[in-house]
Amino acid sequence: MKKVLIADDEESGRILIKEYLKDFPDLVLLTQVNNGVDAITEINRFKPDLVFLDIQMPGKTGFEVLGHLEEIPQIIFSTAYDQYALQAFEVHAVDYLLKPYTKERFRKAIERLESGNNDLSTLAQSVLMDKEDYPQRVLVQQNKKLITIAVADIIWIEAYGDYSKLHTENATFVSNYGISGLEEKLNPASFLRVHRSSIINIEKVQELHKYGKSYDVTMHNSDVVRVSRGYMDSIKKIMF
């Protein structure tokens, strides 16, 4: 049996978690609070095993709450803001539920809780990429750390074995996603596959040049990306 506490300033958020908890009789709800100050008091008082913790709360943020606890329980963040995902896993959160989330997504968080699968890069990547809408930011490798970059800053994407290189104006980053995986996740209104090894951001196209029976695309950073014959129909969609 695990003792559970909910800290969320939105009543709808608390109600949802309580409803989903009914499927897990081993998770026993002790109490719930609606602000960061009470969260600190009640967590230190009850010493729960698991806390569902919102981030943006009156009094103290979820991260500030963690800094005032006598003992750190297992934490599952539940929030409407995706920009804190990486920071959440840096404090060893079990999972990061991005509102609104389904019962199935909640179940996966509990399964992760039980399995102890807390790999930072995998979890943070999934938060940013596995959303119903198209992601605004992606997780990439920079030296020995992980950072997020805005999708809008990506000029073009290059296949890099099982990974991908994301080219921006001033730097190139490596994503753990393969190029086909990124193609599925990114908004097709902005990102166009022009080669089995290349995706371009059509908002970052500078020039288009005829090359034999195909085309070369010059991007804003002066990189030239070849359009293969198999993707000619794609490039014609943006030609008028």
Task: Reply yes or no: is the peptide bond before residue 73 cis, omega within 30 of 0.
Answer: no
Average pLDDT score over the chain: 87
DSSP secondary structure letter of residue 26: T
Strand-strand pairing, 74-79 and 50-53: parallel
Strand ranges, E, within the chain:
2-7, 27-33, 50-53, 74-79, 95-98, 137-142, 145-150, 156-160, 163-167, 172-175, 191-195, 198-201, 205-211, 214-219, 224-227
pLDDT at residue 140 greater than cutoff 90: no
CA dihedral 152, 209, 240, 201 (to 10 degrees): -10
Q: Where in the chain is the domain with CATH 2.40.50.1020?
A: 137-236
Query: CATH: 2.40.50.1020, 2.130.10.10, 3.90.1200.10, 3.40.50.720. Which one for 137-236?
Result: 2.40.50.1020
> Cα(142)–Cα(160) distance, rounded to whole angstroms?
15
| Partners of 74 in beta bridges | 50
Least reliable range by pLDDT among 1-5, 140-144, 185-189, 212-216: 140-144
The stretch 147-155 carries a mean pLDDT of 88
Angle subtended at Cα 226 by Cα 200 and Cα 135, rounded to the nearest 5 degrees: 15
- Residues in Cβ contact with 106 at an 8 Å cutoff, skipping those fewer than 6 apart: 17, 20, 97
- Can you tell me the distance from the alpha carbon of 15 to that of 130, in angstroms, rounded to the nearest whole number? 24
Angstrom distances, CA of residue 160 to CA of 45, 154, 166:
51, 16, 10
What are the start and end residues of each CATH 3.40.50.2300 domain in the chain? 2-129
Q: What is the pLDDT of residues 21-61, one digit of tens each?
A: 999 999 999 999 999 999 999 999 999 999 999 999 999 99
Residue range 76-110, pLDDT digits in tens = 999 887 777 767 666 678 888 988 899 999 999 99
| 2-129: CATH architecture | 3-Layer(aba) Sandwich (3.40)
Spatial separation of the C-alpha atoms in residues 179 and 175, rounded to whole Å:
9
